[in-house]
Amino acid sequence: MIKATNRKVTRLKRHLRIRTKILGTSARPRLCVFRSNKHIYAQIIDDSKAHTLAAASTLDQALKASVAKPWNKHGAEAVGQLIAERARAAGIDAVVFDRGGNIFHGRIKAVAEAARKQGLQF
C-alpha cells in the first residue's frame, strides 16, 4: 500500500513539474492524457481561456461498443483516433502533448501515435 501511494505522489510531482513548462494556447492547445487502471481519457485544453475544446475517453458512447477491452493499447489507440477527429472538427491541427506525469510508453504512447496518424501535429 505504501508503494502505490509513493508511486502516485511521485507521478503527481512529475506532472506538476512538467506543467510549469507546458502551456496550451489558443493557437496550440494542450492535449492532456490521463490513464487509470481501466480507462484512458484525453482532453484538448486551451489554458489561456481555461476551456476544454475537445474530449474523448474509453467511456464515450462512440467507443464503448467498438472497444472490447478499454484498458489495453487497442482502447488507447481508439481514444487517440477519436480525439484527433474531434480536434480536426474543432479546427485544431497542432497541439502540445501533456503525458500527465506518466512515462511515454504503452498506452500513453499508443494515444499519441494514433493521434499523429490521424493528422494531429505535436
Three-state SS for 35-47 is ECCCCEEEEEEEC
Which of 34, 39, 32 shows the shortest CA–CA distance to 122?
32
Task: State the CATH number of the domain containing residue 78.
Answer: 3.30.420.100
Query: pTM, whole model, 2 decimals?
Result: 0.87
Decide if 109 is inside a domain.
yes
The predicted structure's pLDDT at residue 2 = 60
pLDDT band at 91 (very low <50, low <70, confident <90, very high): very high
Question: In this model, does residue 71 exceed pLDDT 80?
Answer: yes
The predicted structure's pLDDT at residue 80 = 96
Decide if 100 is inside a domain.
yes
The predicted structure's pLDDT at residue 49 = 92
Burial status of residue 98 (CB atoms within 10 A of its CB: 0-12, 13-18, 19 or more): buried
Decide if 106 is inside a domain.
yes
Burial status of residue 20 (CB atoms within 10 A of its CB: 0-12, 13-18, 19 or more): exposed
Question: In this model, does residue 72 exceed pLDDT 90?
Answer: yes
Give the total number of structural domains in the chain.
1
In the chain, pLDDT over 70 holds for what percent of residues?
97
Decide if 11 is inside a domain.
yes
Decide if 45 contacts 32 (C-beta within 8 A). yes
Decide if 46 is inside a domain.
yes
Q: How far apart are CA 87 and CA 122, in angstroms?
A: 13
Domain that holds residue 73: 2-117
Decide if 122 is inside a domain.
no
Decide if 31 is inside a domain.
yes
Q: How far apart are CA 78 and CA 66, in angstroms?
A: 9
Q: What is the pLDDT of residues 4-27, one digit of tens each?
A: 678 889 999 999 999 999 888 889
Decide if 113 is inside a domain.
yes
pLDDT, the chain, mean: 92
